[in-house]
Amino acid sequence: MAGGKFFGGIHPKYHKELASAQSIEQMPLPERLIVHFAQNLGAAPKPVVKKGDAVRKGQVIAEPQGFVSVPLHAPTSGSVQAIDLFPHPVGADMPAAVIVPDGKDEWAPGLNAPRNADGFDAEKIKGIIRDAGLVGMGGAAFPTHVKLSPPKEKPIDLLIVNGAECEPYLASDHRLMIERPAEILEGASLFARALGVQQVIVAIEKNKPEAIEAIRSAIVERRGYSLRALDVVYPQGAERQLIFALTGRRVPAGGLPMDVGVLVQNVGTAFAAYEAVHFGRPLIERVVCVTGRGIARPKNIVAKIGTTFNDAIAFCGGQRGESGKVISGGPMMGVAQYSLEAPITKGTSGIVLLTREEVAQFVSDPCIRCGRCVRVCPMLLNPSALSIFVERLRFDDAEAYHVIDCIECGCCAYVCPSRRPMVHHFRRAKAEIRSKAAKAS
Amino acid sequence: MNRDTVKREVFVEDKKTKEVAEGLAGAGPRFLVSSSPHVREGVEIRDIMRLVIIALLPATLFSIYLFGVRALLTIAISVGSAVLFEAVWQKAVRKPVMIGNLSAALTGLLLALNLPSASPWWMICIGSLFAIVIAKQLYGGIGYNIFNPALVGRVVLLIAFPVQMTAKWLTPSAWGMNAVTTATPLGRVREALLTNGRIDVHLTRQEVLDLLIGNRAGSLGEVSVILLLIGGVFLIAKKIITWHIPVSFIASVWVLAGVFHLVNPARYADPSFHVITGGLFLGAFFMATDYVTSPIRPVGKLIFGVGCGAITVVIRLFGAYPEGVSFAILLMNAVTPLIDRYTRAAVFGARKVKATAA
């Protein structure tokens, strides 16, 4: 299968060593959990509990609304103390249920029991995955069962399990691949069965030799499965770039991976599928990499969904010195937090604390057209021209120059010698273009 | 477009936000909040400018060795006045003073390297005034100028003071001693063509060597082809510039001049003579590659380089001036936005993009 290097990309300082040697550790139950209802792309599920209700671990506390939506489950047993607005890691106050654990961590009936999944057909697997509330755990949080249901005219022939983890600092996928390789592959096989796909590739960047070794030993007995070690270049884990690097197929601009017969799932999602199908455990906890030079003891933790950043940071020894920035996700694409009361959601792959000195400060100095952004843009856009258009409020021109195809990887802003806030400009242009289109229709 | 509608987002913590933050003290820890990415490579404009200046150092130091104290003075006056004009202008119009990014210093150095060693101090100042104030700041400062500032300065002087700019060349001699007035190699060819109707270029090995090393008359920085080449290769290796413009510029001069030479060797000099004389190497590596005024994509850069080369040859062979590199680059500067518009890459995953007028 042809492949190669995608265009552009950067070689940031990775700082993976801070957390990559830390075994995954179960974090004890915090005193309260803030469980947001909006945790998946698409429609947020509707709450079915109210203040004062007692809940059991794994019990549904919000029902999906439509196809592109998943249910939400209580992460532990306890009582609903409040339903109110709380900081959401995407950057706004949103409705969430506050659950005070009773300490018993008692499962709702019918859950957490091993079962034989050999006879499960595609529909059954997809149903379990949906009912378990699975979403893409690399950060996008798109409902997994929707991805597993491509329309008939778009047959999938290849499943890619994404273990690239190209974001600097983050090591949660890395650790999961080292510690649970067989479970990840089993989860991947469930996706493959649901799709009727024979060919599965696990893709890992070469800077994770232990993970490559672990998956390699676990993969031998699986026919049709292969492991591909990828060059270390950001954004190697971005879907379009990953697919091109592995297969040479180009996802059409504005299209989806299924347009070229490919489906990409994150290793964390594969693990969650294994837990859901084989043990009836819904998605109520995940591996989070708490790291950065602003963290006293960087760790990879299994934390309940709803654990506040404050509690997670405290479990990792607290802050070291004065933090400049707290990021949900990695430093290239993650979201800066304004409050440590924001909780871990299904899409939170990491919590990164940057020191003041590390934090990039952007100013709109004039573009000198050096072309560094043009050389690194993996979508072959002209960020220089685009940012000048946005600065002058020429959104029509930005649209004509394909700003909508920007994947917001941040390579352009990373290399810009004029410290221009490129990604900020492009998000703004996209928002303007979308609102104009919405008005027109 | 109305400049008032230009909205600028400023993301740094300025004094005001700091005061607001201090006023809120006690409301818990506060963190910087801004769009991703949250880290940067850390290369600044001044780092790039510094590398270009370093790349010019061999040719600069050699020019001081060849032309002596006068060369040193010319460089000092040019750099000093360029930085001064930029600072004074930015103060006067209440813009932040940005001389720290070394862009004005580089413009001053490039202007000096484009001047004869015998230039009077007032003429140098007029050149840098035009370069910095007229060609750069009046257009909006760094990033907004259409024409290469140093070349604007040079061409203004060339047109306004033709005698000082073209007739007062000194032959190099160590430390500027015993220098005598002479013509540049290109000037001599032009002279011969006008008086005798034919040129008289029979390059001996020694002459070629002299031209390569820089043992000849010319502008300060243009004389040593080898040192300019070393600087240019350094910039390409450091990824400050790409090979596209210098290679296509120099190659097209060689090819085009070669075609004319084949047709009539009595009138048109050997193409290699054209390549190693005049300001071609200085222009191709250090002036035509100016970021702001040259195309941004490889294909556009190649078109730009070929255009520069073609115009240079036409001016040298048929124009009123013996040298055409400066004019060629300035003319191509003017069409750079057009080149950029029609050399856009297709976005990843798209078959082809139709150039749309923006």
Q: What is the pLDDT of residue B182?
A: 63
Q: What pLDDT sits at residue B203?
A: 67
Question: What are the beta bridge partners of residue A290?
Answer: A299, A351
Residues forming a β-bridge with A292: none
Q: Give chain A's residues under pLDDT 50.
A: none
Please tell me the distance from the alpha carbon of residue B135 to that of residue B148, in angstroms, as a whole number: 7
Predicted pLDDT of residue B172:
62
User: A393 vs B5: CB contact, 8 Å cut-off?
Assistant: yes
- Same domain? For B91 and B129 the reply is yes
Q: Using the beta-carbon criterion (under 8 Å), do B297 and A371 form an inter-chain contact?
A: yes
pLDDT at B28: 55
For residue A6, give the chain B residue with the closest CA.
B348
Q: How far is residue A316's CA from residue A313's CA, in Å, rounded to a whole number?
A: 5
Q: In terms of domains, do B51 and B143 share one?
A: yes
Q: What is the DSSP letter of A135?
A: B
Partner-chain contact B38 A326, CB within 8 Å: no
B9·A364 Cβ contact <8 A: yes
Are residues B219 and B247 located together in one domain of the fold? yes
Domain of B297, in residue numbers: 183-342
d(Cα B52, Cα B282) in Å, to the nearest integer? 12
- pLDDT tens digits for A50-61? 999 999 999 999
Which residue from B35, B119, B36, B38 is spatially nearest to B71, judged by alpha carbons?
A: B119
Contact B291 A369 (CB under 8 A): yes
- Based on the domain organization, do B190 and B319 belong to the same domain? yes
pLDDT of residue B221: 79
- The CA R_g of chain A, rounded to the nearest whole Å, is 21
| Per-residue pLDDT, B29 | 60
State how far residue B288 is from chain A, nearest Cα, in angstroms. Answer: 13
Give the list of residues 6+ apart from residue A124 with CB closer than 8 angstroms, or none: none
Is B158 within the bounds of a domain?
Answer: yes
pLDDT confidence band for B4 (50 / 70 / 90): very low
Residues contacting A272, CB < 8 A, separation 6+: A132, A134, A137, A187, A283, A286
| Interface subset of A 135-174, CB within 8 angstroms of B | 168
**B268/chain A closest Cα distance in angstroms:** 37
Question: Are B95 and B201 part of one and the same domain?
Answer: no
Between positions 227 and 266 of A, the ones with CB within 8 A of B are 240, 244, 250-255
Q: Which pLDDT value is given to residue B351?
A: 59
Cβ of A360 within 8 Å of Cβ of B349? The answer is: no
What is the reported pLDDT for B25?
A: 45
Specify the amino acid at residue A19: A
User: Please, are residues B265 and B193 in contact by the beta-carbon 8 Å criterion?
Assistant: no
- Is the CB of A369 less than 8 angstroms away from the CB of B143? yes
3 state DSSP class of A191: helix
For chain A, which residues make up each domain, given as ranges?
Answer: 122-279, 372-440
Q: Which residue type, as a one-letter code, is found at position B317? A: L
Which helix or strand (DSSP H or E) is residue B235 part of? helix B225-237
Q: Which amino acid is at A166?
A: C
| B97 and B203, same domain (yes or no) | no
User: Looking at residue B113, what is its pLDDT?
Assistant: 94
Q: Are residues B132 and B195 in the same domain?
A: no
Let me know: does A243 contact A158? Beta carbons within 8 Å: no
pLDDT band at B1 (very low <50, low <70, confident <90, very high): very low
Residue A160 structure tokens: 């890619």
Q: In percent, how much of chain B has pLDDT > 90?
A: 57
CA distance B354 to chain A (A): 10
Give me the number of domains chain B comprises.
Answer: 2
Asked whether residue B237 is domain-assigned, the answer is yes
Cα of A397 vs its chain's centroid, Å: 31
Q: What is the pTM of this model?
A: 0.89
CB pair distance less than 8 Å for A405 and B349 = yes
Q: Which residue carries 């031998």 as its tokens?
A: A220
B67 or A366, which is more confident?
A: A366
Ordered DSSP codes for A241-291: HHHHHHH---PPTT--GGGGTEEEEEHHHHHHHHHHHHH---S-EEEEEEE
Q: Specify the 3-state DSSP secondary structure of B136.
A: coil
Which of B105, B131, B163 is the C-terminal boundary of a domain? B163
What is the reported pLDDT for B353?
45
Name the residue facing A405 among B6, B291, B347 (closest C-beta): B347
Residue finishing a domain among B163, B196, B215: B163
* Residues B135 and B237 placed together within one structural domain of the fold: no
Using alpha carbons, list the distances in angstroms from residue B195 to A97, B183, B190.
95, 15, 9
Asked if the C-beta of A338 comes within 8 angstroms of chain B's C-beta atoms, the answer is: yes
Chain B residue whose CA is closest to A388: B6
How high is the pLDDT of residue A400?
93
* CA–CA dist A374, B28 (Å, integer): 41
Residues B114, B188, single domain; the answer is no
Residue B65 falls inside a structural domain: yes
Cα A29-A31-A35 angle, rounded to 5 deg: 80
**pLDDT, tens only, B178-230:** 455 566 777 777 777 777 767 766 667 777 777 777 766 778 877 788 999 99
Mean pLDDT of B247-252: 98
Instruction: Say what the pLDDT of residue B11 is.
Output: 37
Structure confidence at residue B2 (pLDDT): 39
- What pLDDT, on the 0 to 100 scale, is given for residue A383? 97
Mutate to test the interface with A, among B4, B17, B40, B52 (most CBs of A within 10 A): B40
Residue B2 belongs to a domain: no
Q: In the CATH hierarchy, which fold is given to the domain comprising A122-279?
A: Rossmann fold (3.40.50)
- Over residues B250-306, the pLDDT tens digits come to 999 999 999 999 998 888 888 988 998 888 999 999 999 999 999 999 999 999 999
Interface predicted TM-score (ipTM) = 0.90
Condensed to tens digits (0 to 9), the pLDDT of residues B7-47 reads 333 333 444 445 444 544 444 567 888 899 999 998 999 99
